[in-house]
Amino acid sequence: MIRDKRSDYLAALILVGPFILIYGLLFVWPTIQMVALSFTNAPLIGPGEWVGLDNYFKILEHRLFRNASWNTVYFVLLTVIPNTLISLAIAMAVNRLGGWRQGFVMACFFLPYILPVSVVFLIWNWIIDVQYGLIQYIVRPFNGGEPMSLTRTIPFFMPTVALVTIWWTLGFNVLLFIAGLRNISPEIYEAAALDSAGRWRQFRRITWPLIWPVTALVLTIQLIAQLKIFDQVYLFSIGGRQDPTIVLVQYVYKLAFQQNKGGEGAAAATILFAIIIILSVLQYQALRARGQK
């Protein structure tokens, strides 16, 4: 009996050990190094002196950090919930299709998700181009017949990048929702139909409660992803003023790689890491508690 348990532990260690080793080398150890670096005045490459919490106080007092925090929160509000609701609506529509049509439509929605961000940027940079962009046909009537650069006009920058992000990422969320919808037994809907329950009542009483665990997962994934937003914002802000549209990861990049302040960059990254961990855990637990009720 004891020998069987030892063999089970050994088999589990062989299977899990490589993952733990790689995870420790590529995530845990760099995270420890980042936190340690945040307490020094070191440049990006090279040693530095211990400064305690000075880097954190500097960052919290920095106007650009507050601006980056607000822009990140604003972007999260523009993307997380709208992306989730749109994905759920599309998934419910696609789930009603049958045969090859369902697979074809799912592939069409998932196709943008597999594109690299550089390709997504080129596609949408062409669509919103001031001279020949397709979206200018919609913008011009609201701008006195004149074209407008959506990514150079600060009030429209974040909504534009949010639209691009939703288009780019909703395919994965649609697949998650379709998987959740397929786990709901058709017999439940048949019984509800016999009770004269309409589609809205079926959604409110059956679909929404049963799909809630998937919804909580999608919301959490989206929250983490959008708090780490960088690529789209950086690419669309090239050639313009970056400070008014800067986000937190871009702020870390600016400190560490552009200003060669490794210690302050590590402190900013540590603050962002703590924010992501705290908010994602709190949100998931709150959504999970609501689902259990």
Q: Check residue 186 and give its pLDDT.
A: 82
The per-residue pLDDT for 292 is: 65
Instruction: Please give the sequence-ordered ranges of beta strands (E in DSSP) within 112-183, or none if there are none.
Output: none
Tell me: pLDDT of 264 over 70: yes
The domain spans of the chain are 1-37, 53-292
Percent of the residues in the chain that have a pLDDT greater than 70, as a whole number? 96
Considering the chain, what percentage of its residues have pLDDT values greater than 90? 48
- DSSP characters for 249-268? HHHHHIIIIIS--HHHHHHH
Superfamily, domain 53-292: MetI-like (1.10.3720.10)
Other beta carbons less than 10 A from residue 117's beta carbon: 15
pLDDT at 293: 61
pLDDT of residue 229: 93
In tens, the pLDDT along 210-235 reads 898 899 899 999 999 999 999 999 99
Output the average pLDDT for the chain.
87
pLDDT of residue 86: 95
| Band (121; pLDDT cuts 50, 70, 90) | very high
Q: Which residues make beta-bridge pairs with 50?
A: 40
Instruction: Kindly write down the DSSP assignment for every residue of 173-185, as one continuous string.
Output: HHHHHHHHHHTS-
* Tokens (6 digits) for 99: 């045969």
d(CA 18, CA 161): 39
The answer, yes or no, to whether residue 253 has pLDDT greater than 90, is yes
Q: Is the pLDDT of residue 240 over 70?
A: no
Q: Does residue 7 carry a pLDDT above 80? A: no
pTM of the predicted model as reported, rounded to 2 decimal places? 0.88
> CA-to-CA distance for 136 and 126, rounded, in angstroms?
11
**Rg of the chain, C-alpha, whole Å:** 24
- Residue 15 reports pLDDT greater than 70: yes
More confident residue, 180 or 194: 180
Judge whether residue 2 has pLDDT over 70.
no
- Which range is least confidently modeled, 22-31, 65-74, 192-201, 204-213? 192-201
- Segment 36-51 shows an average pLDDT of 88
